[in-house]
Structure 1
């Protein structure tokens, strides 16, 4: 079984598109019928995020942490308890490609760091957009780490110790631990995810803040 983990804090506007894309990826014929479980970790949600997740028929977990590292860890633990052999992580403001899971597994690595793209730059000026594209490597061999596009085997995840309770950069910390435990990592542009470039970032220090800094 494959497990997909999506942390969410008040994501009623963007979660529907995220879940539609995720469910398409979970039904890709290239998975050869292997079951896929999806869990949305509701972290201090006060809007309709939980209701929307229920309408899509995915698992949910409620936590009161306001901490994305703890949210990802809670979701990963739930998937491991259900017997997941592979954990795939994305974000509630992101849309995975239809072949996202297939592309991760095809790399035959213990962990996969994929790339992201932005399709709506309306909240930023042209200078910020251009600065991002100048600095971003959208090719195999990149060294980007995105919680919105990350996969890891259950064995490697356990060996690395899982996500730390960090409010941001929990994805980087996990990858650092994977490297320290001699995990085979594919730095690939094959698994693709479209993510939000919103300025009102849900996690301080996350992708939204990175973009904001480019425009300064």
Structure 2
């Protein structure tokens, strides 16, 4: 069984688009008949995220941690107890491609670190073009990149258990996990094959995460993750060249 974990804190604007994309990926023909279980970890949600998520064929786990590391860990534990052999992670403000899960598994690795596309630059107002240009200039959307995104991450259950799972970090929990996996000798695919589109919102629930990096790149006109070229119908980039 394949497990998908989605942490969410007050994501009523995005959660339905996220779950629509994930449930479509769970039905991809290349997965055969393997079951896919999806869990949304509702972390101190005070809006309509919970009822919106409950309308989909997913498990909902409620916690009151206000901590994304703890939310991912809770979702992973729920999936491991259900028998998951593979744990895929994305974010509630993100949309995975139709082949996302199939592409992760096709790489024959213990860990898959994918890249992201960014959408919604208008959230940066008058600085939107500056933000987008800065990220296009510095992001590497190619095999062999070294980006880590909780929105596009896959880990074999055995490898996840081996290093003890996510730490209770308010941000950078994904980087910390991959660092420990790499130090432990896990086979990591740094790949641009699995596709995820994520939000360009300049402010998120905590400082120091992806939104902070976007804002820093905008304000400094310098480094940070970036936007990708147009995709084909299956969500793939037309080229594997670095931006």
TM range (shorter): over 0.9
Q: Which of 138, 145, 153 is 1:150 aligned to?
A: 153
Q: Give the distance between the partners of 1:131 and 1:199, measured in 2 at CA.
A: 14
Structure 1 position 197 matched with structure 2 position 169: no
Q: Give the distance between the partners of 1:202 and 1:21, measured in 2 at CA.
A: 23
Pairwise CA distance, 1:202:
2.1
Deviations 1:100-149 (A, max 9, x none): 00000000000100000012210222111111111100000000000000
Q: Give the distance between the partners of 1:10 and 1:127, measured in 2 at CA.
A: 28
Match of 1:96 in 2: 96
Question: What 5-or-longer segments of structure 1 have no aligned partner?
Answer: none
Structure 1 position 110 matched with structure 2 position 110: yes
Match of 1:211 in 2: 214
SS at match of 1:200: coil
Q: Give the distance between the partners of 1:42 and 1:203, measured in 2 at CA.
A: 16
Q: Which has the higher strand share?
A: 1
Deviations 1:67-104 (A, max 9, x none): 00000000000000000000000000000000000000
Contact 1:161/1:177 (<8 A) preserved? no
TM (norm. structure 1) is 0.99
Pairwise CA distance, 1:161:
1.2
Q: How does 1:1-216 map to 2 (within 5 A)?
A: 1-124=1-124, 125-216=128-219
Q: Give the distance between the partners of 2:27 and 2:163, measured in 1 at CA.
A: 29
Aligned residues: 216
Q: Give the distance between the partners of 1:214 and 1:181, measured in 2 at CA.
A: 32
Q: Which runs of 4+ in 1 moved over 2 A?
A: none
Q: Give the distance between the partners of 1:130 and 1:16, measured in 2 at CA.
A: 29
Pairwise CA distance, 1:203:
2.7
Note the aligned Cα RMSD (angstroms).
Answer: 0.7
SS at match of 2:203: coil
Match of 2:241 in 1: none
Question: What 5-or-longer segments of structure 2 have no aligned partner?
Answer: 220-243
TM (norm. structure 2) is 0.88
Pairwise CA distance, 1:167:
0.2
Q: Give the distance between the partners of 1:134 and 1:33, measured in 2 at CA.
A: 41
